[in-house]
Each structure stands twice: as C-alpha cells, then as structure tokens.
Structure 1
C-alpha cells in the first residue's frame, strides 16, 4: 500500500470508532500516533479499527496502544489475525516487569559475603572429614578382607594415572634439573666453587623437585581425571544404581584410585629423581667439565641417600591427598554439566594448593628435626 499513516474518528451510538489507514510503521507513521493520542484523550468506549492498515510494525503497534491508553474507558481492537498477534505481543512487552537497575551495594554486604565464605569453608571442611572417614572405613575393609579389592581397575588406573605420565614427568624433571645445574654453574663459578653445583643439583632434585614436580603434574592430570570420571557417573545416576544394588561406591570407585596413586607416585618420583639428576649431569658436564664419575662420586659422598629418602617420604602422603581430593570433588558433582566443570576445576586447584602446602609443612618439620 505504501501510504502514510492516518486515521478517521467517528462517533456512534456505542461509542467512538477510530479507523486507521495507511502504513503504521516507524518510517511512514510520522506524527499520526501523537495526533491520535490527543484526539482520544478522555474519550469513552473507544474502538480502534485496524482492518484498513496496510503495514504495521512494533513502533506502530506501540503508538496505537499508547493512544488507547489515554482514553477514559478502554474499548476493543478490530484487526486481522496477524495484526492482532503483533498488538498482543507489544502489549505484553509493555506490561512486562522493567529490567532491574544495577544498584550500589552497601558496604555491609562485603562482611556478609565474608561470613558466607567462612560458613561454606566450615561446611566444606566438615564434608572433607566425612569423606576421609568413609575412605578410612573402605581401607580398613580392604585390609581386613583383601579379596574384596578389585585388582583389575587398580591396575588399569595405575597404568592410566601413573605409567602413562612417565614421559611428561621424566621430561619435566630433566629440564628442572638442567635449569638448577645451569644456575648453580653460573653463580658458583663467580666464587670459584663450581664443584658445589653437584651438591646443589643433588639436594634440590633429591629432596624437593622430584616429588614436587611429580605431585603437581598428577594433581593436574589425575585429580581432574578422577573428578571427571566419578562426576560423569554421578550425573548419569550410576552411583545411585550402585547403592541400590548394595555396592559401596567407595569400594568400587574411590579405593581403587587411592591404591593406584599410592603405588604409582613413589615409582614416578624415583623416575623423576633419575631424570632430574641426568639433566643436572648433562649441564654440569658441558659447562664445568665435571664428568659422570666425579658427579656420581661427589653425589654419594657429600649428598648421600638421606635427601633421597626425605623426598620419597612425601610421596605416600601426597598420593593420598591427590586421590582423595579428586575423588571427593567427583562425588560432589550435581546433575548438570556446570557442576561437573566447577568440581573438575576445584579438584585441580585444591590438589595443587594442598601439594604445595604439604611440601612446605614437610620442609618445616625436617628443618626442626635437622634432617
């Protein structure tokens, strides 16, 4: 039709009738909606006839509804079905609740959030003790009845969580040992004590970096895998099905992962020790011309096996912590994917934090014991 918007107002026995013609669109409407508003102000029993309207968009529908709103008594709308649907849609949008404005939060809400955080931390610690207690019960049952242990998943998990990590653990600790050796060679040469670079590499790798690098890699690799696997089973209600069948999820899921890491982390730590020493040996040999024979002899005489056993003593503790954190986060997964993502992320963060914290505690204890 492509005609400008216009209207005609007539008075009848049943009230006033406004007949709209033309295109009531944002482009063709002009000031027709404003004139219609002035004409209908205070009118009783208004009827708006939209049968003659050619085109109508949301702007035109909004103008018509705003004009009808100023009438003393609301009437009716006569329109084609497609026009009526648009009128109803715009009318519903007008009556919808307005978008809430962003308000400035009062200062006391900061303390409220801190309080909620403390409460949630307390509940989390309580749940951790409950989980650890259940795990200890599962370990006690396995010790009392070794036949209950599911060896097939233990070996499978030991391969996936431990042995498959050998390349990355060996490569990482090799370069860590090389970096320590390079720093030691560079700094100690200034004082004419370059031979002590061997002692530095030995103590750093044997005492700290072997277990720390291994635990951090498994915290990001195995803890997240445990949380994702158990969390996916929780989402699919497979764990609920186990409980219905009388199978304890701790015996079937948690304990095999706990045992797998308890076996593999000491082995990986030993491999990491060898790789780190080899990395330090390569750098010391190339930079300081200290050959393998002198490197190993000084390592045995001045470093000794004490530092090796100090590093290895941390392995079982970190294995238990990493396995427990990964499995616990998996057991806490809800029924949605968002919960799974949060728990997997939390498993990695908590495992890394716990690894560094426990290593620091061990360092303080051995320092006080002069070991």
Structure 2
C-alpha cells in the first residue's frame, strides 16, 4: 500500500457549535473521524476537497439522525442526494388490528388447511379404490410380487415389536388391576379387565399406533425418494400408472396384515395378563381361561378387529399422500415423513374414539 498523500488526509477541528472537517473524506479516512463526529449537531464541510460514496453514505446517516450539514458544494451535494435516494428504505409495518382478529385469521387458515388436507386424502382414497377396481377387472396388471414383499415388510417384520408391546401392556394391566381390585376383594375381575381392554381397545389401538409410526414413515420415505429422483415422472412417461405400482400394493398390504397383527397383539396381551395374574394373584392359567371364556363375549373381539382395516387404510393413504408431496430436496423428505407419522397417529386415535362412540350407541 502506498503512503497516504496530503489530499488523502482528513483534518477535524472544533468549530462554533459543531465540528469542522477539511481535506479528504473518503472510505480510507473515515476511521480518522473523532468520536465527537457521531454526536456533533453541526458538521462544517466547506473545507472538504474529496468526497466518495462511502463518506456520502456516512453523512446521509448523520443527516437522518438530525445533524446539519453545512458548506457542501454543488457536486458534493448532488452526490449526497444520490446516495440518500439510493439508500434502501425499510418496508412500512402493516397496521396491526385487534388481537381477536389475528386469532380468528389464524384459526380460519388452519381450518382451511385441514379441509384441503382432507380433500387430498379423499382424492388418494379414490385413486386407491380405482386402482383396486382396475386390478380386479384386469388381474394381469396386478403386481402380486410387490404385494407379498410389502406384506413381509409391514406385517412379518413388525410381529416382534407388536407382540412384545402387547405382552407388556397385558402385564401392566394385570399388575395395576390387581393392586386396585385387591382392596375390594374383587381380584377375579382382573381377568375381565384384561380381556375386555386388550380385545376391545388396547390391542388393536396400540398395534395401529406402532404400524403408523413404522409404516407411514417407510411409505413416505420410499415414495418420496422416488419423487425426488423423478422416478415417478419416468413411470408416467413410460405409461406406467404409479397408483397401480406404488399405492395399491402398499395400502393393500397394510389392510391384509394389520388385522393379523391385531390378533397377535391380542394373544400376546392376554398371555402377559395371564402370567402376571398367576404371579401376583395366584389365578391359575386354567382359571384365567375359564373366566375369560365365560365372562367375555365374542363381540369384544369383533369390535376390536373391525377397526383394523379402517386403521390400515387411513395409515396407508396418509403415508402415500405424504410421499407424493415430497419436493426436490432432502429437507422436504424429512418434513413430510415427520408429518405423515404425526397425522397417521392422530388419525388413528380420532377414528378409534369415533368407533367407541358408534359401538356404544349401537349397543356393542
């Protein structure tokens, strides 16, 4: 760097009521400004020999703060006006209305978004039913190998975690029921508690929640990765229907395997409850079996398993819909996968509540 010449120096002197600047006021000499320049009410600038845009921007900021700029010649004033006009102005803040209006606006947007989401799910349900009808009319177009593969992935591989979960739920129900019913001498009713709770509600509900977390994410990830790599667009270009290849086998596999997983969960839950009742209350397995058969109606099993196909259909549709919504980046894949799991679990719980109300109304 060359040495600073005379015309590149800046001289600052105290003046009457302000600060007098002379010499060159440029990007190189701005650091030489004294601290008083930031608060001086008047800047006398008639002695300036050079002024560049960086210094003009500084003067524009001081002028906006209320400082008076005196002594600028015509060229310097023109440069200052140009820089001032080019300085970006912040967007005016919109006038905020009452708080209740903001709450209503947010609520309305959420309701509209929920209705749009339900409409899209109804569309994918229709596409699944159309693909199923097409497969029935033209069995040669149905991909049996894909169905078997997805039955293995969503059903067979989920058996260990479903059985373990149901077994532990049966143990917990027996233990908690024993500790409460013993106070009233009604230990034998633990069998009724376990059998009705597992067969009617907890067995299939918790199985559906596990499948929702496990399979909804898998469906979204597998279809979403294909969407990211434009493989679905390539299918359409080749005349292959993505609904027949991707949606139908996956959803149908869930509809087939979830009732079977529900039966396994019921058996494991009853086994866990029977073992804990034997250990905690001394109720033998034969007594547990007799009490369960005598006091538990088969309608509880029917009520529980009748929910399974509906749960499976909802989980599959939500997972496939989220996979088709994935964009071109990995961030959207992760966001849609998380959203699919949350929506599937929420939908399962809501539908189970609706089923409970319906069966209570019809007397089952």
TM-score higher than 0.5: yes
Distance 2:61 2:92 in 1: 23
Deviation at 1:37, TM superposition (A): 6.5
Cα distance change, pair 149–33 in 1 and its aligned pair in 2 (3 A): same
**Aligned counterpart in structure 1 of residue 191 of structure 2, from 188, 191, 198:** 198
Work out whether residues 18 and 49 of structure 1, in 8 Å CA contact, stay in contact via their aligned partners in 2: no
1:19 aligns with 2:20: no
Among residues 11, 22, 38, which one is paired with 2:43 in the alignment? Answer: 38
Give the structure-1-normalised TM-score: 0.79
The answer to whether the 8 A contact 1:232-1:340 is kept is yes
1:200-232 deviations in whole A, cap 9, x for unaligned?
111111111110000011111111221222122
Q: 1:96 aligns with which of 84, 88, 91?
A: 88
The number of residues matched between the two structures is: 340
Distance 1:35 1:209 in 2: 77
User: Residue 139 of structure 1 is aligned with which of 132, 155, 159?
Assistant: 132
Return closer, same or farther for 1:20/1:301 CA change in 2, 3 Å cut-off.
closer
- Separation of aligned partners in 1, 2:289 and 2:326: 50
In 2, the alpha carbon distance for the partners of 1:39 and 1:126 equals 69
Is the 1:17–1:47 Cα contact (8 Å) retained in structure 2?
A: yes
CA deviation map 1:55-81 (0-9, x unaligned): xxx8x88646668994353439xxxxx
Matched residues in 1 for 2:313 and 2:10: separation? 78
| Aligned counterpart for 2:119 among listed residues 114, 126, 130 | 126
Alpha carbons 2:170, 2:269 under 8 Å: kept: yes
Give me the whole-angstrom Cα distance separating, in 2, the residues matched to 1:49 and 1:193.
96
* Alpha-carbon distance between aligned partners in 1 of 2:228 and 2:193, rounded to the nearest angstrom: 49
Q: Distance in 2 between matches of 1:241 and 1:322?
A: 26
The corresponding residue for 2:311 is 318
Give unmatched runs, 5+ long, in structure 1.
9-15, 51-57, 77-90
Q: Name the SS of the counterpart of 1:48 in structure 2.
A: strand
**Cα separation, 1, equivalents of 2:90 and 2:114:** 37
Name the residue aligned to 2:76. Answer: 75
State whether residues 242 and 249 of structure 1, in contact with CA within 8 Å, keep that contact through their aligned partners in structure 2. Answer: yes
Q: Confirm or deny: 8 A CA contact 2:192 2:295 kept in the other structure.
A: yes
Instruction: Say if 2:60 and 2:84, in contact at 8 Å, map to a contact too.
Output: no
Give the alignment's Cα RMSD to 1 decimal. Answer: 3.6
| Structure 2 gap segments, 5+ residues each | 14-20, 78-82
C-alpha spacing 1:159/1:105, structure 2 compared with 1 (3 Å): farther
Q: What TM-score comes out, normalization by structure 2 length?
A: 0.80
